[in-house]
Amino acid sequence: MAPATLNPTRPLVLDHALDGVGYTPLCRLDRLAKAHGIKSNLFGKVEFMSIGGSVKDRIAKRMVEQAEKDGVLIPGKSVVIEPTSGNTGVGLALACAVHGYPLIITLPEKMSMEKELTMRALGAEIIRTPTAAASASPLSNIGLAKRLKDAIPNAVILNQYTNPNNPLAHEFGTGPEIIAAIESLPGNQRVDVFVAGAGTGGTISGTARALKGHNRDCTVVGVDPRGSILALPESLNVLKESEDSSYQVEGIGYDFVPEVLSREPGLIDQWVKANDEDSFKLVRDLMKREALLVGGSSGTAIAGALRWLKASPERDVEGQNVVIMLPDGLRNYMTKPWFADGLTGREIGADLSPEVTARINKVLADNHKYSLSANGDVPTEDKVEEAVSALAETMKDVTVGTRGVNGIGKVAA
């Protein structure tokens, strides 16, 4: 059965922050597709444009509001506890701030400091747990959350791993938004392929149900990081002797199968695996080509989509619509080595042509001619004008490179 029709337009005036959850756009990924030789129409579902910055805003809002309706959460009494890799915690921190609940988050050590600081800014208490602890261990974030619930009166774990409102948020929110966007296009108005990484599995399972109702022939592809055990058949999860089960990408993959990850036949049609190297390489590629500042798991989804499309000629068909879930944004990962190490301290000209790089270096070599005054004032006006004129002169009729311009205002081929 197809999901209820959804008005995909965000209100212009929000009564509170939770009214800004969801309503995220699809963005064409034409430059990425061309660079990788893909004929299909690629679209990214850009979830960092939700008010809390990720796809998990959706489930947090629904879980809290439904728990209130069901009497599980009692205003002025309940304390919310949740084990998370971060994004669900941010979403819950938003929801708990609006609804007035104290929130305790248990978070593995490998998760970014940016996530912790964001949750703390919203009023949550954060307790870190060992990344190496298996999910069944009392020391894991899941195990610690259970122990805290037993120790704290009126504590409630909403439990994204088992809570049916996790996939329902996507079946009646994310999925219908994607359908409405694709149906607004000229020509093919079907979602032919949907690709998403899997963590709890709520996003891919719920969205898949909506999309299968829209087009029963829609192919749903799950992407699982190397080291995780979520993919089927299970032979995909077997590691080589040179590999270990750790991986750096955050928010997807587990060492157990969550209840909300559907194993229903025909829902998730195929699985592919992706490693950290490909994930981080492709997320940087996506940033440069499409100007989308997304997180590492978006690179995993892109890597999986490209691998699946290129696996056989009949999969990559001109005119078909392929939607890829981009779960969160760069805000969460600004200081992570996979991102920061490639940018800080790099030489000038990394993305420019040799000609432009040489001219920039020539201008910089003249810096000794222009100095600050002894008291630190800026250079005199005539020297500033001289420096600007010198730089402008060097840039006349220069080919900047594949990402720049020829002359002024003319995009390079």
Say if residues 198 and 224 touch (Cβ distance below 8 Å).
Answer: yes
Say if residues 54 and 328 touch (Cβ distance below 8 Å).
Answer: yes
According to DSSP, residue 369 is labeled G
Q: Give the whole-angstrom CA distance, residue 343 versus residue 59.
A: 34
- Chain CA centroid to CA 11, Å: 23
Residue (of 214, 223, 204) closest to 263 by Cα position = 204
Q: How buried is 288 (Cβ within 10 angstroms: 0-12 exposed, 13-18 middle, 19+ buried)?
A: middle
194 pairs with which residues across the strands?
A: 220, 323
How many Cα atoms sit within 13 Å of 406 on the Cβ side? 5
Q: Give the whole-angstrom CA distance, residue 274 versus residue 14.
A: 39
Distance from the first to the final alpha carbon of the chain = 47
At residue 392, what is the residue type?
A
Residue (of 321, 328, 274) closest to 301 by Cα position = 274
- Phi and psi angles of residue 62, each rounded to the nearest 5 degrees, phi first: -70, -40
56 is catalytic: yes
Among residues 45, 56, 115, 273, which one is catalytic?
A: 56
Q: Is 108 helix (H, G, I), strand (E, B) or coil?
A: strand
Helix (H) or strand (E) holding 69: helix 56-69
> Residues with catalytic annotation?
56
